[in-house]
Amino acid sequence: MLGALAAALSLENLLLALLGVIGGTIIGALPGLSATMAVAVLVPFTFTMDPSSGLIVLGAIYTGAIYGGAYSAILVNTPGTPAAIATSMDGFPMARRGDGDLAVTLSCLGSVVGGTVGALALLFLAPPLSQIALSFGPVEYFWLAIFGLSLIATLSRGATLLGLIGGAIGLILSCVGSAVVGGDVRYTFGQTSLLGGIPVIPALIGLYCVPVLIDMVIRPEAHLERRAETVRGFRFREAFGLMRRSKFNVIRSALIGTGVGIVPAAGGSVAGLVAYSEARRTARVPEAFGDGAPDGVIASEAANSATVGGGFVPTLVLGIPGTPPDAIILGALLVQGIRTGPQLFTQQADIVFTFTFGLLIATLLMLPTGLIIGRYAFRLIVSVPKTALAPAIAFLTVVGAFAIEANTFHVAIMVALGIFGWLVARIGLEPSPIVLGLILGPIAEAGFVQGWLIGGASGNRLGMFFGQPISIGIIAMTAITLASSGVFKRAVSQGNPE
């Protein structure tokens, strides 16, 4: 391990890690240009590199892109990546009141702590933690998706009914196209472009960004408030003080992100929302969440960055990619002749440990690069007039939606869902429950159908869904989440007014 650390600290690998973090941060900040796209585009360039150096570049890009999504989430209320969905809930309100530079600094510090915890978990706990991923079957994934959907009640800020309606809309949208099990074609209305379903990234851009653009055009006031006394750079000391006071929130969120990252297919969006929900549930003033609570930004960013290291645990030890970028990096490993599995940590330990240390170094490099980029990003956004800002954001949204598959139909989906999102926002329906339903719908459907079929074949469907220890634990967490959100209490009070 000492030799691997020395290799990771070589000048070449340090430079590659730095360039990867900067490039990933910039790409992640642009709506639609996700971490998956950034890693996929640059994979061919790593084939001529030393395997460990190539992996360090990809890991650094992945890490930077996950963090970069916070910039657009905070400054223009458009998550640059799905992992930054929860960040926009409090980050953008902070920016609107003139604290965008503080929110960006908090997101940087939270990402560094979360990414460090995830990388350390990969370094020291990969083999035992990988057994957790093996314990999850279809039914566990179904209940995990239900648990994620239960967070809607917590995130709805008192409008639980509207939140549930939004989640139901997202679930309906997730049913469009070919069924994840069986391949039945549903709700395409003869459009072959819908056979693959509603793409998440164009939907994300449309529901979050297009309503902001419409409001920027029709409202006379400035997009973000600029106050001379608040636009003063890093605000590092203030942010560090908030982080220190919220140390339990930071560590809890990082551990949540690591745990969720270990579970394949969960990803940073689920981790950020779970950590955000827990931060709100345990906060002294939960009503402040959604109106610019720093703890919301800290929780989301610490969790989604921790999924990077956590996601590499099943990828390297089991060959099961935890997230889409992990799947691309797994392909790069195979091209390099590296076979994943428990033997990877013994037969090719020099490569995997050099990569792990490189990932840890890249995470630490996010601190200076993130602070510098964030300082000028906020100043740029608040100083650019809306007449120039709105067309620039509109151009980036169109490019982001189109660039995923070079498909103009994705642009049409983005615009349609954006107009829909702006209209339903008039009645208080927020985009987050819709996006959450869209992301978790396929996971829930696949888990339920597969569990139902397996339970039917074994003659014990009830035991299949309610008899497994992990399933019981997830069901219990779901019940606790609903109870803490007040759903049960309101239901009881409505049934018995006295």
pLDDT tens digits for range 354-364: 888 999 999 99
Residue 407 has pLDDT above 60, yes or no: yes
Which residue's entry shows tokens 């990003």?
A: 377
Asked whether the beta carbons of 167 and 152 are under 8 A apart, the reply is: yes
Q: What is the DSSP string of 270-315?
A: HHHHHHHHHHHHT-S-GGGTTS--HHHHHHHHHHHHHHHHHHHHHH
Residue 20 has pLDDT above 50, yes or no: yes
Asked whether the beta carbons of 75 and 224 are under 8 A apart, the reply is: yes
Ranges 223-232, 304-313, 432-441: which has the least confidence: 223-232
Give mean pLDDT, residues 405-409.
Answer: 81
User: What is the C-alpha separation between 281 and 263, in angstroms, rounded?
Assistant: 23
Q: Which of the four pLDDT bands, split at 50, 70 and 90, describes residue 254?
A: very high
All residues at 6 or more sequence positions from 472 whose CB lies less than 8 Å from its CB, including other chains: 466
Can you read off the two tokens belonging to residue 65? 């892109």
pLDDT of residue 153: 63
Asked whether the beta carbons of 79 and 69 are under 8 A apart, the reply is: yes
Give mean pLDDT, residues 69-82.
Answer: 79
Give mean pLDDT, residues 386-395.
Answer: 79
All residues at 6 or more sequence positions from 355 whose CB lies less than 8 Å from its CB, including other chains: 8, 52, 55, 56, 59
Q: List the domain boundaries for the chain.
A: 2-490
Give mean pLDDT, residues 393-418.
Answer: 83
Q: Which of the four pLDDT bands, split at 50, 70 and 90, describes residue 84?
A: confident
More confident residue, 323 or 191: 191
Residue 342 has pLDDT above 70, yes or no: no
pLDDT of residue 265: 59
Give mean pLDDT, residues 15-29.
Answer: 86
Residue 249 has pLDDT above 90, yes or no: yes
pLDDT of residue 495: 46
Residue 298 has pLDDT above 90, yes or no: yes
Element (H, E) at 75: helix 51-75
Q: Which of the four pLDDT bands, split at 50, 70 and 90, describes residue 303?
A: very high
pTM for the full predicted model: 0.75
Asked whether the beta carbons of 201 and 469 are under 8 A apart, the reply is: no
Strand 185-186 versus strand 177-178 pairing type: antiparallel
pLDDT of residue 297: 93
Q: What is the DSSP string of 236-264?
A: HHHHHHHHHHTHHHHHHHHHHHHHHHHST
Residue 327 has pLDDT above 80, yes or no: no
pLDDT of residue 116: 93
Residue 110 has pLDDT above 90, yes or no: yes
Q: What are 193-209's pLDDT values in tens digits?
A: 888 888 877 887 788 77
Give mean pLDDT, residues 236-253.
Answer: 90
Return the biggest CA–CA distance within the chain: 73
Per-chain mean pLDDT for the chain:
81
pLDDT of residue 228: 42
Q: What is the DSSP string of 433-447?
A: HHHHHHHHHHHHHHH
All residues at 6 or more sequence positions from 10 whose CB lies less than 8 Å from its CB, including other chains: none
Both ends of the chain: CA-CA distance in Å?
Answer: 66
Give mean pLDDT, residues 164-186.
Answer: 86
User: What is the C-alpha separation between 229 and 250, in angstroms, rounded?
Assistant: 28
Asked whether the beta carbons of 100 and 292 are under 8 A apart, the reply is: no
Q: Which of the four pLDDT bands, split at 50, 70 and 90, describes residue 448?
A: very high
All residues at 6 or more sequence positions from 53 whose CB lies less than 8 Å from its CB, including other chains: 12, 13, 16, 46
Instruction: For residue 491, give the 3-state DSSP assignment.
Output: helix
pLDDT of residue 252: 93
Residue 111 has pLDDT above 70, yes or no: yes
